[in-house]
Structure 1
Amino acid sequence: MIVFAWFYLVINSHVLGDRPATVLPTTDTEVGSRDYSYDPEECVMTYKHWTEQNNIIFVANWSPPGIYMSNVSSTLRFEVAMEDVELTAPSALGYDGTISTLYWSDFGKNTIERYSFDTNQHEVFVSNIVYVRNLAVDGAGKKLYWTDYYQNRIEVINLDGTNRRILIDTELNWPNAIEIDTTNGYLYWTDTGFDKIERVKLNDLSTRTALVTTGLGWPSGLVLAVPDGKMYWCDSDKRVIEEANLDGSNRRTIITLPGKSPFRIDIYRNYLYWTEPYGGGIYQVDRTTGISSKQSSDSRLNDPRDLYI
């Protein structure tokens, strides 16, 4: 199956943690060898083209259940990401760009599932879980990490399905967002019970360090910009989006959001995209200026729980 979607404006490349695209282009044509000078309204783009150019955004909506995709454009236009895949309550997303495979957790089925866009194959990857709050895929290292919100632990499994194990299960209280920095070998996560952001060296768990421990209420979303040396998080209780260095220093507020509850966050070029569940939508904020705007009012996305760019 090839998923087609119309779009208005192509915006190219993306820097997020250590995901495959780590070079930020300076112009819209400085990506690979493709020419983007054509009128985009005259063109139909495929999933494969989007992902090769790092232009795709996935969104998981809790109710009604669905996973949608769009080109990251000035106007997001979402299409169903996968046909004939049963979803009950998709809540977390991850993606392995090395093999074009989308991962998600389904709270209604207590599973982690995956879908290959190369082979159009869907499978239940992990079962016997309680509430996977967030996922982090290390395609190069062939591992999947997740936070189990109710069992208060962080688990890991090889992408071939072997060696599932608990990585951390001490001093956790509702672990939430999780991100991996494969360049420097760190795993980061937020803890919404103890109100902190932590990290650990994956080859030495004794290096576990609390980076942010004050001024947090419900740090529900986290994203890394490793080439910039920055991390960003959203706080659903404090109603803010904040920034700090990867070691937690030089913290600053990017935007305060009265009446909003930002839940998940991701990054594309100089913009942070965030979800507002329970009738909200998808929003964008410039991480330099703090100027924000709503990016989607799609009625199918009235309860977005996660997004991945």
Structure 2
Amino acid sequence: MRKIFFPNLLIAVILFAGLHSPLHAQNIIWLDSSFDSPRLVKTGADGAELFSQPLTVGSLPQSIAVNTNDNALFWTSLAFVNADINSITADFSSTSVVLDSQSVLRGIAIDPVNGHIYWTATNLVSGPKIARADLNGENAKILLDFGPGSSTTPRALSLDIGGEKMYWTNFGEGKIQRSDMAEGSSPEDVLTGLSGPAGLAIDTVAKRIFWAEMNRHQIKSADLDGGNDSLLVAGLSYPNYLSIYPAKNRMAWTEMGSGKIKSANLDGSEIFDYGVTAIAPTGVIIEPSPISSVSGNENVQIPQSFSLQQNYPNPFNPVTTIRYELPEKAFVNLSIYDMLGRKIKTLLDGQKSAGTHTVKFAAETLASGMYFYKIETNKGFNAVKKMVLLR
């Protein structure tokens, strides 16, 4: 009997066999805002406590951000007297006060390109503000002054550096707003009708906003102009601060109601509970990759292993972004396949340097359905993931 082969079907079976993806939990760094014993804590992906730095009693630490030039951490304090912005080096060896303030400080964001700190503040007498200073705390400048008696309550803050915009959650008025980063301008409403918008983060590559809506117990995302909003995670216990790490396709958040810290993929899948039950967890970030020096004086974050990330957004229409990581220079082929294993398009076929890379895939001419993207390298790393085009 003659054997009959179905090459397309065989390819599809091989593709499906490579779809299993383990949970990609990462180390996190977070703040415990308990009044008597506030701390800066590093927790491993297995829930083990790897580092703990006691902070000033009564300082009520709030939001945390990283300077990607050197991985130094900065955080704000909510203390009603002598609130400040603090920093600690990437190796946790040295802590310093960057800025003293007479305001209640909430959100913080770092502009590593121009060397600036941005923060939100509420002065009980003069009203809420958004301000900026150099990374050493000098040249502080108020960008937006909402004035005494304002119902505006600026909370979390995030930057779209390429678009020269700063975004913040307005907790009191149920909004996400934005303004220009350089000098400040009249706030523009991006999203309204929210209920307790708290944490906020921006994916500058995928051009998406992520936010935690505390009173609706959910995390959502939308385009930078507020369109195409999507529910990612529901049923949470008063989600508070939020951060994302697009290169790892992960986000992390704290929950005020349960005292838990969790993470998930950027599409809301693969939720992971770190097993932490803190008294008052506030700010959290996913630990950044170590910085390695390459090409003379240029500092870049070199991944520790090969990986292919889930595309985002997913489902998509008609454009999505695919990320992959290379710990060393490699020849890379990245191609798209349909359900029958037929190659639809080759997105990349060439040598790529070590680092985190992104590729846009536009599917204007394709029908709705499930597709697959496959990466092959000359270093023995191959992986396949699925994505859904939904028109």
TM-score range, shorter chain: 0.7 to 0.9
Name 1:186's counterpart in structure 2. 165
Deviation at 1:135? 0.6
> SS of 1:263's equivalent?
strand
Looking at structure 2, the residues matched to 138 and 172 of structure 1 have their Cα atoms a distance apart, in angstroms, of 28
- What TM-score do the two structures reach when normalised by structure 2? 0.58
Task: Check 1:165–1:252 CA distance in 2 against 1; reply closer, same or farther (3 A cut).
Answer: same
Deviation at 1:112, TM superposition (A): 1.1
Letter in 2 for 1:265: L
Q: Is the aligned partner of 1:57 residue 2:33?
A: no
Match of 1:125 among 98, 116, 124: 98
Which residue does the alignment assign to 2:139?
A: 163
Match of 1:35 in 2: none
Counterpart selection for 2:265 from 286, 295, 299: 286
State how far apart, in whole Å, the 1-side matches of 2:219 and 2:274 are. Answer: 19
Superposition map of 1:23-34 within 5 A: none
Q: Does 1:265 align with 2:236?
A: no
Q: CA deviation at 1:284?
A: 2.1
From the superposition, tell whether residues 85 and 62 of structure 1 become closer, same or farther in structure 2 (CA, over 3 Å).
closer
Q: SS of the residue aligned with 1:76?
A: coil
Query: What residue number does 1:175 align with?
Result: 154
- From 181, 195, 205, the counterpart of 1:202: 181
Opposite residue 261 of structure 1, the aligned amino acid is Y
Matched, 1:253 2:231: yes
Could you say which residue in structure 2 is the equivalent of 1:101? 72
Give the length in aligned residue pairs.
Answer: 248
* Larger of the two Rg values belongs to structure: 2
Task: Provide the alpha-carbon RMSD of the alignment.
Answer: 2.3
Question: Which portions of structure 1, spanning 4 or more consecutive aligned residues, are displaced by more than 3 angstroms?
Answer: 84-88, 203-208, 290-294
Residue type at the aligned position of 1:191: N
Give the Cα separation in 1 of the matches to 2:162 and 2:55: 34
In the alignment, what sits opposite 1:232? 210
The Cα offsets for residues 68-99 of structure 1, whole Å up to 9 and x where unpaired, read as: 1134x3x23232254x7545422221221313
**CA deviation string 1:146-196 (max 9, x = no partner):** 011453110111113221121101366110110011122111111011111
The whole-number CA distance in structure 1 between the counterparts of 2:202 and 2:132 is 19
Contact preservation (8 Å) 1:153, 1:172: no
Amino acid at match of 1:90: P
2:91 counterpart of 1:115: no
What's the secondary structure of 1:203's corresponding residue? Answer: coil
Contact between 1:66 and 1:80, CA under 8 Å: does it hold in 2?
A: no
Question: Aligned residue for 2:275?
Answer: 297
Q: Distance in 2 between matches of 1:276 and 1:176?
A: 16
For the 8 Å contact 1:149–1:176, the answer to whether it is kept is no
In 2, are the aligned partners of 1:173 and 1:192 still within 8 Å (CA)?
yes
The share of aligned pairs that are identical, in percent, is 23
Is the Cα contact below 8 Å between 1:87 and 1:106 reproduced in 2?
Answer: no
The letter of the residue matching 1:166 is: I
Q: Is the 8 A contact 1:154 1:167 kept in 2?
A: yes
Compared CA separation, residues 203 and 102, structure 1 to 2 (3 A) = closer
Q: For residues 167 and 284 of structure 1, what CA distance do their matches in structure 2 show?
A: 33
Quick check: 1:220–1:264 contact (8 Å CA) kept in 2? yes
User: Does the 8 A contact of 2:144 with 2:185 survive in 1?
Assistant: no
